[in-house]
Amino acid sequence: MIDQATIERIQSVAQITDVVSDFVTLRKRGINYVGLCPFHDDKSPSFYVSPAKNICKCFSCGEGGTPIHFVMKHEQFSYTDALKYLAKKYGIEVKEKELTEEQKQVQGDRESMFILNGFAQKTFESNLFNHLEGKSVGLSYFLERGFREDIISKFHLGYALEQKDAFTQEALKSGYKKTYLEKTGLTIVGEGNYMVDRFRGRVIFPVHSLSGKVVAFGGRILKTAEKTAKYVNSPESEIYHKGSELYGLYLARQAMVKHDKCFLVEGYTDVISMHQAGIENVVASSGTALTIGQIRLIHRFTNNITVLYDGDAAGIKAALRGIDLLLEEGMNIKVVLLPEGEDPDSFARKQNATSLIEFINAHETDFVRFKTNLLIKDAGDDPIKKAHLINEIVDTISIIPEEIVRLVYVKECSKLLDMDERALLRAIAKKRKEAVEKKTTAGNKSEQTESNQNTTIPLNETASSLTPGNITDNIPVNTPATYLLDKFEQGLLRYIVRYGERVLYVSENEETKEQIPVTVAEYIYQDLTQDDLALENPVFKQMLNEVLEKLNQPDFVAERYFLNHSNPEISQLAVKFVSDKYSLSKVHSKFQKIEEESERLMELVPYEVLNYKDAILKQQMETLNARIKSAQDNNDFEEMKNLMSELSSLWQESKKIISKHLGERIVLKI
């Protein structure tokens, strides 16, 4: 366990802009920063980062949090691992208390698998540089390929010994469990406790996550053997999903942002050779067709991608795979075909950064033009093939989201195809209409299913906009009182989180004449208590109680306290309540004094408490109305009379609350 002093130091040092920038390209917008959300399919920036509040928030999907919670969500880390990651980033020494056996037992599978993979990576790397077999076989292979030792170390390349269970026995001897050896795929387990190393006799390429943790391995065999695959990769697991990883991304992300471009290649050695040539903004799909997950990883860092492929026929065909998905994501794609007989690995080893970039700049072609020229050459004078070619081009252009980009490509392709531009536009419009209709049909079915399944309104909606003047405007007239109650509880909690320690007013003790400051949290608690009321949501109630307990502490700030709360549910709620997407422009604020919310607390907080009490009354009245109807159905007139009297009392209470809202006296009539 990490001691509290270290946790507080990490919290005070970690800057949200620094942390998020490691994973997302941010652009300044006013006093905040904005970028594509890494947690959902975000084609226009909706992910906001606030340096002032040290939080991030997506105003589309709702994800966000402090630096710690961003890392937890993004990297699927535990709270402790996120703290360690940030401590390493900022050079903070982490002093941990010895875990008990019980605490060790409850550590999750994911953490154990990451730890085991880290051990495996170090073992394989040590084999390569320190073991006789590793040096003579593995290291010799890499050196013969032309890789320098500094590049070998940079990518943590390694070697797995030829002995069938050398690594497995080493891991078991070091205390790692057979269960995790099998789950990570490092060991293949058969009947009768038979165990064998998956990567035995292979050079090793570790695959890293965005944060640098080893999630998987690729292994290349060096001996020619029948029925043995040239490359073997880790199987899918709880920590590794092949379609969501790109080899080299961990080392490429900063260069991708710096140059606003990503080079995409096929294999491990392609990436390594380009790094050695001085080009670092390069990733590999590891020999598989691109997936949406991989594309979105790239899109976080840049909108521009250049695909490098072999110059042979297979390379040309490979260049067409997955590109339509890139276009659909709104990316700017170019293709470079290397000279005949070359692949990115071999070609990069003959170049330096300058000559390689010069070649790419001279030979890269935008994908639509490249595909059109390629298909024209393939179609020749065959009218059937030409018709097929036109359909393929229409399919490709129609999925491009930007209208202006589509029009540019239509103009270009009409010349290349010697075809009327209007005919292409009509075909593309038809194709897009069909796609929209198909999506609409699917959406209607989904909405109908959701409508049939969801008969109540969710109670966890954001309350960041719950302020007087708009709260009731956004709630339908027939909204259930239970929903209203939860909304107004969230409204109260918002003030508790943002301003809980602020003094709302100063009261005077009638006897001692002592001046007693009353904070926002105290006012809410006292006002509810005098009517025998309390917050119903247990988490909200806990948060209010924690503020009341800590008000006497010097320098206590509720917002800061909750944002850094150890309970992720509470800290996420705090992020929601302190997030403001918009700020007034300098021009707007220059000509008039804008009254801040914090300056109107004496007006707003009592208003919110009244709203909450009103919601409680409405909930009670709903219950009474249901009981009255039940009594009526049962012809229980005595019960009806009693319930009607009770309802009348509640109605009068409701009128009083309304009169307080309006600031005037209302004469009640029975």
Query: What is the residue-wise DSSP string for 474-541?
Result: TS-TT--HHHHHHHHHHHHHHHHHHHTTSEEEEEE-TTT--EEEEEHHHHHHHHHHTTT----SHHHH
452-466, 538-552, 634-648, range with the lowest pLDDT? 452-466
Neighbours of 472 (CB within 10 A): 16
In three-state form (DSSP H/G/I as H, E/B as E, the rest C), the secondary structure along 589-615 is HHCCCCCCHHHHHHHHHHHHHHHHHHH
pLDDT in tens, 302-357: 889 998 877 665 556 655 666 777 777 778 888 888 888 888 888 888 888 889 88
Neighbours of 477 (CB within 10 A): 5
CA distances from 332 to 280, 391, 407 (A): 19, 22, 15
CATH architecture observed for domain 243-363: 3-Layer(aba) Sandwich (3.40)
196 neighbors 211 (Cβ within 8 angstroms) = no
User: What local confidence, expressed as pLDDT, does residue 143 receive?
Assistant: 95
Per-residue pLDDT at 667 exceeds 50: no
Give the pLDDT band of residue 650 (cuts 50, 70, 90): low
pLDDT in tens, 211-229: 788 999 999 998 776 577 8
pTM: predicted TM-score of the whole model, two decimal places = 0.58
Q: How far is it, in rounded angstroms, from Cα 191 to Cα 189? A: 7
Question: What percent of the chain shows pLDDT beyond 70?
Answer: 81
User: What local confidence, expressed as pLDDT, does residue 282 receive?
Assistant: 94
Give the pLDDT band of residue 384 (cuts 50, 70, 90): confident
Q: Locate the domains of the chain by residue range.
A: 4-89, 108-240, 243-363, 365-440, 481-581+596-656
pLDDT in tens, 145-197: 999 999 999 999 999 999 999 999 999 999 999 999 999 999 999 888 889 99
What is the overall mean pLDDT for the chain?
A: 79
Give the pLDDT band of residue 106 (cuts 50, 70, 90): very low
In CATH, the number for domain 4-89 is 3.90.580.10
Per-residue pLDDT at 649 exceeds 60: yes
pLDDT in tens, 485-529: 778 888 899 999 999 998 888 887 777 777 788 899 999 998 888
Residue 526 has phi, psi (to 5 degrees) of -65, -40
User: What local confidence, expressed as pLDDT, does residue 508 receive?
Assistant: 75
Range with the largest mean pLDDT of 110-124, 446-460, 567-581: 110-124
Handedness of CA 71, 72, 75, 77 (dihedral sign): positive
For the chain, the 3-state helix, strand and coil shares in percent, each to the nearest 5, are 55, 10, 35
User: What local confidence, expressed as pLDDT, does residue 276 receive?
Assistant: 93
Query: Average pLDDT, stretch 26-53?
Result: 85
**How does DSSP classify residue 25?**
-
- Tell me the fold of 365-440: Pheromone ER-1 (1.20.50)
Per-residue pLDDT at 238 exceeds 70: yes
Give the pLDDT band of residue 669 (cuts 50, 70, 90): very low
Q: How far is it, in rounded angstroms, from Cα 473 to Cα 657? A: 18
Residue indicated by tokens 């709203």: 611
User: What local confidence, expressed as pLDDT, does residue 255 receive?
Assistant: 85
Give the pLDDT band of residue 235 (cuts 50, 70, 90): very high
Per-residue pLDDT at 298 exceeds 90: no
User: What local confidence, expressed as pLDDT, does residue 596 receive?
Assistant: 72
Q: How far is it, in rounded angstroms, from Cα 156 to Cα 506? A: 64
Per-residue pLDDT at 466 exceeds 70: no
CATH of 108-240, one of 3.40.50.720, 3.40.50.300, 3.90.980.10, 3.40.50.2300: 3.90.980.10
Close Cβ partners of 30 (under 8 Å, ≥ 6 residues apart):
583, 585
User: What local confidence, expressed as pLDDT, does residue 91 receive?
Assistant: 86
